[in-house]
Amino acid sequence: MGSEVLEQPQHNPKPTTNTNINKLNENTDTISTENNANGNITVTKKTLSLIQPHSLLPKPTPPISNSHPQSPNANDVVPLNFKTFFRQRSNDLTSAITRTISSIKNSIDDKNDQNDDVTEFKLSGLKVVVTVKNDASLGKVRITLFSKSNCRDCSAVRRFFRERGLKFVEINIDVYTEREKELNQRIGNSNSTVPMILFNEKLIGGLVELNAMRKNDELEKKLIEIANGGFSGDVPVAPEYGFDEVAEEKVVVEEEIVKVVRVLRQRLPIQDRLMKMKIVRNCFDGNELVELLVRNHGYVHDKAVEVGKQLCKKHFIHSVFGENDFEEGNHFYRFLEHEPFISKCFNFRGATNDSEPKSAAAVCDRLTKIMYAILESYASEDRRHVDYVAISKSEEFRRYVNMTQDLQRVNLLELSENETLAFFLNLHNAMVIHAMIRVGCQEGVINRKSFSDFQYLIGGHPYSLSTITNGILRSNRRSPYSLVKPFGTKDRRLEVAVVKMNPLIHFGLCNGTKSSPKVRFFSPCRVAEELRCAAREFFENDGIEVDLEKRTLHLTPIIKWYSADFGNERNIVKWIMNYLDANKVGLLTHLLADGGPVHISYKNYDWSINS
């Protein structure tokens, strides 16, 4: 309306002013008055445009205090409670949005004429997106993969499923040996063929059939087709807790020597004795053993002595002072479970394994297959990162720990040189994984002392990670910064140590850190070739860097720590050239050819874990 000026007679100003103002109040929302210099009253009327709220939103209501209920007297003053006000407004807004979404959803269901996968609508600046779930869900399909350890085709199938985000259940028949019979029944063949893929109970085939389905774009169609059919009662059961092997229904004849051992444990006078000014704990002497065998088992004297020798050879008993063989007389012996080191062995569970020992080669083969399966399931593709938490909860690892009890009384002397090398390389890397789970680490960095002392009972004797590396694989050489050798001259473990040390072992041993070589396992028949491949791969990655300008080689500190194994620095450079790619070989050849000095620098070692 703008503004207007009213002139009033001076003898009656108030009635005129009140009357005009009352008239304006009927038609305006806001007025303001002002006296000008002439004594006239200027009244300004402003029109306010009210913004109406959305029809679906709740109408504003005055705040109501819970502590002061509204009084019927209009003159009473109600105090303002802002907390209650905003909570009430929030609840009203939420209820309005919920009612609106429900009404829109109902209208969409009633019309049933939209085929889009996504419905989008807007509500007072609020964007709501509703995704319609596809009825042909692949959740009704269980993909089962029968596999073996260290199988290229199985790795290809496993990689294919992972890259496409398809969940699958893997049954490794090298780990779950009892499932091999089931696989043979499903394929109708007595010879297990892997990989073998099943969608629910439907046998698909191996890698060739999977590739054919992928090229013809039939994989998704097949999955949807089987999903619509649902499950049947013949779907392979996922691996679960069980024994390593299914025992057949046959009578197992217990060895006579085991029966003898059980009687000896109960009746021999095992006690602490004094010998050579030392207290010898939990022992008995040879005379007591022979007398008990003659009296209780009816053996003649010579036969009793022969049984005592068999007990020593099979590692049921050991000489306290390290004598090679059993002798009758005042010589002290103790049972293997009474040895002082036994409680520190992580494959000992309160009692020794009295079963007839399996061959060391068979135990090594079984150990390697289980560890391959663990890496394929719980390590990265390049094996540089290992999920120790997942391994610790896996059925594969439980079976591996059970298998380590077979190491207690194996005969290591029956292994060949290459078998011994592969056996202890594999055992070392497996023990590192076990140590990472049992000993653990603080703040992501391993405790080198705890890891070095982590040990197993193997062939009747304790073997730690340190003794395996320096005593066995390095032919009883001193460890870095140590003044003594791992084994003394009378130590029976010297018989197992490799005769000729191969410096390539340092690139096959993983200690669980980021700077160490990646974790891997070896086969006895190809261990030398696999060590060469391990060295090449290590130097191709971070093992060496060549700075041509400064004429400097940056090497891994492993070479510095074990310099006695690699020789002097000049020879080290020439030796390394055998395991480098052509580019780095050319750079090193150029540095060595001009006769100038070549400097060697060592990198910092990252002791954080490779998880």
Q: What is the DSSP string of 342-406?
A: GGGBTT--SS---SPPPPHHHHHHHHHHHHHHHHHHHB-TTSS-B-HHHHHTSHHHHHHHHHGGG
Q: Which residues contact 127 (CB under 8 A, 6 or more apart)?
A: 120
Note the pLDDT of residue 8. 44
β-partners of residue 463 are 456
Please write the tens of the pLDDT for every residue from 384-404: 999 999 999 999 999 999 999
Write b or e for each residue in 12-32: b if 16 or more Cβ atoms lie within 10 A of its Cβ, otherwise e: eeeeeeeeeeeebeeebeeee
pLDDT surpasses 80 at 306: yes
285 Cβ partners below 8 Å, 6+ apart?
Answer: 273, 329, 330, 331, 332, 333
pLDDT of residue 18: 46
pLDDT at 523 over 90: yes
The Cα 326–Cα 346 span in angstroms is 28
- pLDDT of 70 > 80? The answer is no
Q: Of 41 and 206, which is predicted with more confidence? A: 206
Residue among 473, 504, 501, 469 at smallest CA distance from 579: 504
pLDDT in tens, 543-567: 888 888 888 889 999 999 999 999 8
Compute how many other C-beta atoms are within 10 angstroms of the C-beta atom of residue 231. Answer: 13
Cα→Cα distances 70→74, 75, 84, 429, Å: 9, 11, 15, 79
DSSP 240-309: -S--SSPPPS-PPPPPHHHHHHHHHHHHS--EEEEETTEEEEEEEEHHHHHHHHHHHH---HHHHHHHHH
In the structure, what pLDDT confidence band is assigned to residue 496 with cuts at 50, 70 and 90? very high
Exposure of 337 in the CB half-sphere (CA atoms within 13 A): 12
Which residue, chain included where needed, has tokens 């999955």? 223
CA–CA separation, 181 vs 437, rounded Å?
33
Contact 130, 105 (CB under 8 A): yes
Residues paired with 318 in a beta bridge: 334
Residue 457 φ then ψ, to 5°: -90, 115
In this predicted structure, which of 30-34, 352-356, 389-393, 458-462 has the lowest mean pLDDT? 30-34
pLDDT tens figures, 413-449: 999 999 999 999 999 999 999 999 998 776 667 777 7
As a whole number of angstroms, the distance between CA 492 and CA 487 comes to: 9
Nearest to 430 by CA among 390, 513, 374, 389: 374
In the chain the first and final C-alpha atoms are separated, in Å, by 78
The three-point CA angle 193-364-417 to 5° equals: 120
Predicted TM-score (pTM) of this structure: 0.75
Amino acid at 312: C
Residue found under tokens 């000026």:
5
Contacts of residue 297, Cβ cutoff 8 Å, sequence gap at least 6: 260, 263, 304
Q: For the beta carbon of residue 337, count every other beta carbon within 10 angstroms.
A: 16
222 CB-near residues (< 8 Å, 6+ apart): 199, 204, 213
Dihedral of the CA atoms 69, 70, 75, 78 (nearest 10)? 60
Cα 60 from Cα 53, distance rounded (Å): 9
Task: Quote the CA–CA distance of 408 and 244 in Å, as a whole number.
Answer: 17
Least confident of 14-18, 278-282, 340-344, 459-463: 14-18
Per-residue exposure over 255-282, b if at least 16 CB sit within 10 Å of its own CB, e if not = eeeeebbeebeeebebeebeeeeeebee
The Cα 63–Cα 581 span in angstroms is 80
For 27, 74, 349, 477, 576, the CA distances from 71, given in Å and listed in that order, are: 32, 7, 80, 97, 96
570-573 contacts, C-beta under 8 A, 24 or more apart: 572/600, 573/598, 573/600
pLDDT at 116 over 50: no
DSSP state of 562: T
What is the CB-side half-sphere exposure of residue 465 using CA atoms within 13 A? 22
Residue at token pair 């390095």: 474
- CA pair distance 230, 140, nearest whole angstrom: 6
Q: Is the pLDDT score of 38 beyond 50? A: no
What pLDDT was estimated at residue 110? 55
Task: Supply the mean pLDDT for the chain.
Answer: 81
Cα(31)–Cα(208) distance, rounded to whole angstroms?
Answer: 89
Q: Which residues contact 150 (CB under 8 A, 6 or more apart)?
A: 369, 372
**Which residues have C-beta within 8 Å of that of residue 14, sequence separation ≥ 6?**
none
pLDDT tier at 301, thresholds 50, 70, 90: very high
Long-range contacts of 534-540 (CB under 8 A, 24+ apart): 534/504, 534/507, 534/508, 535/504, 535/507, 535/579, 536/579, 536/580, 537/507, 538/507, 539/576, 539/579, 539/580, 539/584, 540/580, 540/581
**Pairing status of strand 118-123 against strand 41-46:** unpaired
CB count, 10 Å around CB of 603?
16
pLDDT at position 444 is 66
Length of the chain (residues):
611
Torsion 363-366-369-370 (CA) sign = negative
CB neighbourhood size of 138 (10 A): 15
Ranking 336-350, 380-394, 442-456 by mean pLDDT, the lowest is: 442-456
